[in-house]
Amino acid sequence: MRVSTPCPAAGDRNAGLGRLGRGAVITLLFVVGVLSALVAGCAASHPGAPSPAAHHAAPVLPPPVAVISTDPPDRATDISPLKPIAVTVTKGKLTQVSLTNTQGAPVVGQIDADGKSWKTTKPLGYSRVYTITANAVGDDNRAVTSTTTFTTIQPRTLTFPSINPLNGETVGVGQPVSVYFDEPIADRQAAESTISVTTNPPVEGAFYWFSKHEVHWRPQQFWEPGTQVTVEIHDYGKDLGNGIYGQEDRISHFTIGDEFVAHADGATHQMVVDINGQMVRTMPISMGRPSSPSTNGIHVVTDRNATKVMDSTTFGLALDAGGYIAKVQWATRISNGGEFVHAAPWSVAQQGNSNVSHGCINLSPENAKWFFDHVKKGDVVINTNTGGPDLKPWDGFGDWQVPWTQWVSGNK
């Protein structure tokens, strides 16, 4: 009887590996795969070579040691144009600093010898945006740059001050210092603080306000002949109240000339002129008639005209009420109310014995010419016994009509 040996099934073709089960075969294949991957990884990496990330990384440096600071700080507003702009550096030295406005115009400044700071040397403008660009080199030899901006104050409006007397003039002993602002001043004390009056020899004086626009300064007594006077107004950048700032600094230097004082007496109808305390001339005069009397008090010469057209309507006297329009010679103004010392050939017969003018002091042509030739702005004419009212302090330069005790109060 033949015994047949059965053929192995198709699924048993791995029987040569031994009598391993299916699970053992799978485990063996997984281990082989892991070993292959490890071998491949080791083959791709050389033990002595740096990684790609380590090859390209930059060294990390500390921040620069130099620090730049500005005064004012960045984006500051309402900066006074008078404020010195400063740049400083620590742990380094400044190499270049520029300050420019929005139009690129530079502002002058200077770096100190040690290179540690920079400051402006000129005022700034109003309502401007400025840019500071500062460069420095630190103690570590590394360069740093700083850029900042700031804005100056924006006034509501500006005021321009005018000075009388003008620079270079020679004036009489009665001339006050007058400052005229073209805007009404809200803070009078602030405005006064911008004005300085210095004299040689020194003399005490005080301010007195005649209006919101006008302030005067004078000594207690008439000036001494030969006094040198300097008036300086430093109002630029200064707040004078109500949003008004000074537009421009001003200066005037003038000299007090010889003392010329004329005494006009409405009772004696005579004018006596003293120069430097010496009587030099006596002249017959005719002053204002009773219906239009001259004013009493200390008058100061403000203007001179070789020929002057006088119109009474300019000071309120209508032509149909006894007014006049006349051309006169050698006219010297002594008040803004229409009072002059002038030639009046039509009243020579009355000069020395009666008052027939409309308020002026009438002289003969010869005497009027002499007076005109010798008198100057700021000289003094003192009227007495006119039968009229006192000169108002605001009429021309009636400053001396204000008693000193009242004057020093300032009229603020």
N-to-C CA span, the chain: 154
Tell me: pLDDT of 169 over 90. Answer: yes
Q: What tokens does 50 get? A: 């740096």
Confidence of residue 321 (pLDDT cuts 50, 70, 90): low
Candidates 216, 299, 342, 358; catalytic one: 342
- Please report, as a single letter, which amino acid is at residue 267: A
Active-site residue 42, yes or no? no
In angstroms, the CA 402 to CA 396 distance is 13
Q: Which of 216, 269, 299, 360 is catalytic?
A: 360
The answer to whether the CB of 184 falls within 8 A of the CB of 168 is no
- The pLDDT value given to residue 25: 39
> pLDDT grade, residue 173 (50/70/90)?
very high
- The answer to whether 340 and 333 have CB atoms below 8 angstroms apart is yes
How far apart CA 292 and CA 73 sit, in angstroms, is 68
Q: Specify which residues 90 forms β-bridges with.
A: 67
Which bin fits 127, alpha (ψ -120 to 50), beta or left (φ > 0)? left
Q: Is the peptide bond before 165 cis (omega within 30 degrees of 0)?
A: yes
Closest C-alpha to 195, from 212, 183, 179 = 179
Which pLDDT belongs to residue 8?
38
Judged against a pLDDT cut of 60, whether residue 5 lies above it is answered with no
**Who contacts 111 (Cβ-Cβ below 8 Å, separation ≥6)?**
94, 97, 117, 118
> Model confidence over 179-210: pLDDT tens digits?
999 999 999 999 999 999 999 999 999 999 99
Which region among 60-64, 250-254, 268-272, 349-353 has the lowest average model confidence (pLDDT)?
60-64
Confidence band for 29, pLDDT divided at 50, 70 and 90: very low
pLDDT of residue 15: 37
**Is the pLDDT confidence value at 33 over 90?**
no
Calculate the CA dihedral of residues 133, 137, 140, 144 and round it to 10 degrees.
20
- In this model, does residue 28 exceed pLDDT 60? no
Better pLDDT: 55 or 138: 138
Torsion of CA 83, 85, 91, 92, to 10 degrees: -150
Rounded CA separation 289/358 (Å): 6
Instruction: Name the percent of the chain lying above pLDDT 70.
Output: 83
* pLDDT 10s digits, 289-314: 999 999 999 999 999 999 998 776 66
Q: How confident is the model at residue 326 (pLDDT cuts 50, 70, 90)?
A: confident
Q: Which amino acid is at 208?
A: Y
Report, as an integer, the average pLDDT of 92-105.
Answer: 95
Q: How confident is the model at residue 62 (pLDDT cuts 50, 70, 90)?
A: confident
Low-confidence winner among 38-47, 58-67, 126-135, 253-262 (lowest mean pLDDT): 38-47
pLDDT for res 265: 98
Which helix (H) or strand (E) segment holds residue 138: the answer is: strand 129-138
Higher-confidence position of 128 and 45: 128
- In the chain, the domains with their CATH numbers are 67-152 (2.60.40.3780), 157-256 (2.60.40.3710), 260-401 (2.40.440.10)
Q: What is the pLDDT of residues 378-400, one digit of tens each?
A: 999 999 999 999 999 999 999 99
55 included as an active-site residue: no
Q: Give the type of residue at 392.
A: K
Q: What integer best gives the mean pLDDT of the chain? A: 88
Interatomic CA distance for residues 193 and 235, integer angstroms: 9
For residue 41, what pLDDT is reported? 45
Q: Given this model, what pLDDT does residue 16 score?
A: 38
User: For residues 280 and 273, what is the distance between their CA atoms, to the nearest angstrom?
Assistant: 6
Q: Which segment of 8-12, 202-206, 232-236 scores lowest on mean pLDDT?
A: 8-12
pLDDT number for residue 208: 98
Q: Provide the CB-side half-sphere exposure for 172 (13 A, CA).
A: 23
b/e map of 50-70 (b: 16 or more CB within 10 Å)? Answer: eeeeeeeeeeeeeebebebeb
Which distant-in-sequence residues (6+ apart) come within 8 Å of 112 by Cβ?
118, 119
